[in-house]
A = this chain, B = another copy of it.
Amino acid sequence: MRTVGVIGLGLIGGSMAIDLKRRGFATTVLGVEQDPVAAEAAKTIGLVDDVVSYEDCIQRADIVVVAVPVSAAVKMVPDILNRFASLAGADAGEKIVIDVCSTKSQICHATQYHSRRRQFVSTHPMAGTEYSGPWAAQPGLFDGRACIFANSEDSDPRALQTIGELYGVLNMRPIYMNADQHDVHTAYVSHISHITSFALALTVLDKEKDEKHIFDLASGGFSSTVRLAKSSADMWVPILSQNHDNILHVLDTYIEKMKEFREAVSAYDEARLRELIAEANRIKKILR
């Protein structure tokens, strides 16, 4: 008998709710969703057994999953730890809260000295799509992907083990990492990709104002590079703010690389273009 409470029934929270229930990890899955339209949708789709209040969820759940944008999660996780501290009952000390946010430094710093820190496990399941909301939730979203455990030495080993089982049920591969190191790495392999897609969309949409039919020509290559530009501002603005320093660093490197291309194209320097492309082709050895 285990109750999981999911706060935020979007793509990530909703998909976790589906598989934790289907695969038998949770006997009951409770959901919290402040947006009434999304809450209604989650009920209609049947993502959770019941949509409840924030307070109810914390009271009743053995494991609380915080699946809201990172700006909200940074305040919510300490609040939930406070509530754990003030709950009556022997099992209040056994409750666990986890977050699933894409940046880890701020949330780990915000909880670092909390008396209940050991009941918090900070994770980042590296899975998703460019869609959002309960409508985007899907079974199997996490299968085979990596899940990062940030600053796991600050969590209680039993809590860590339980959450390890949770992600095991979702078929995720655990990676243990320092929160700051996590934020450097995701700036490179996730956050920058979103900015390049947003900028690409803006560039082409600018042109579209003058030129009709430009999108008749959009090839598969364009669709794939611009796909992430559909991602929601609600999720991405807080990520870009929280991972500010790392993202600026990557952006500067990236803009430099674009300028190198610009100079080589401008100078008709085919030897240099060939070098740049050959160097970029090394990505073949890394990508699946």
Enumerate chain A interface residues (CB-CB to B < 8 A): 126-130, 145-146, 148, 175, 184-186, 188-190, 192-208, 211, 213-233, 236-238, 240-241, 244, 247-248, 250-255, 257-259, 261-262, 264-266, 268, 270, 273-274, 276-284, 286-288
Query: In the complex the two chains form, what is the Cα distance from A244 to B208 in whole Å?
Result: 20
User: Given that A215-B189, A283-B229 are contacting pairs, would A194 and B221 also be in contact in the complex, using a CB cutoff of 8 Å?
Assistant: yes
Q: Are B219 and A128 in contact (CB under 8 A)?
A: yes
CB-based nearest B residue for A278: B233
Query: In the complex the two chains form, what is the Cα distance from A216 to B144 in whole Å?
Result: 12
User: Given that A200-B196, A233-B278 are contacting pairs, would A189 and B219 also be in contact in the complex, using a CB cutoff of 8 Å?
Assistant: yes
Distance between A234 CB and nearest chain B CB, rounded to angstroms: 9
Distance between A197 CB and nearest chain B CB, rounded to angstroms: 6
The binding surface of chain A is classed by DSSP as helix
A261 partner, pick from B198, B244, B287, beta carbons under 8 A: B198
The winner among A206, A226, A247, A288 for most chain B CB atoms within 10 A is A226
Distance between A242 CB and nearest chain B CB, rounded to angstroms: 10
User: Given that A126-B217, A217-B146 are contacting pairs, would A237 and B202 also be in contact in the complex, using a CB cutoff of 8 Å?
Assistant: no
CB-based nearest B residue for A287: B223
A190 partner, pick from B186, B197, B217, beta carbons under 8 A: B217
Q: Are A251 and B277 in contact (CB under 8 A)?
A: no
Q: What residues of B have a CB within 8 angstroms of the CB of A217 in the complex?
A: 126, 146, 148, 175, 185-186, 189-190
Q: What residues of B have a CB within 8 angstroms of the CB of A194 in the complex?
A: 221
Q: What residues of B have a CB within 8 angstroms of the CB of A189 in the complex?
A: 204, 214-215, 217-219, 222
CB-based nearest B residue for A207: B188
Q: Are A126 and B265 in contact (CB under 8 A)?
A: no
Report 9 cross-chain contacts, Cβ distance below 8 Å, ordered by A residue: A128-B219, A188-B203, A188-B214, A189-B214, A227-B287, A233-B274, A236-B273, A244-B266, A251-B265
Q: What residues of B have a CB within 8 angstroms of the CB of A240 in the complex?
A: 264-265, 273
User: Given that A204-B188, A230-B281, A283-B230 are contacting pairs, would A261 and B251 also be in contact in the complex, using a CB cutoff of 8 Å?
Assistant: yes
A196 partner, pick from B218, B225, B244, beta carbons under 8 A: B225
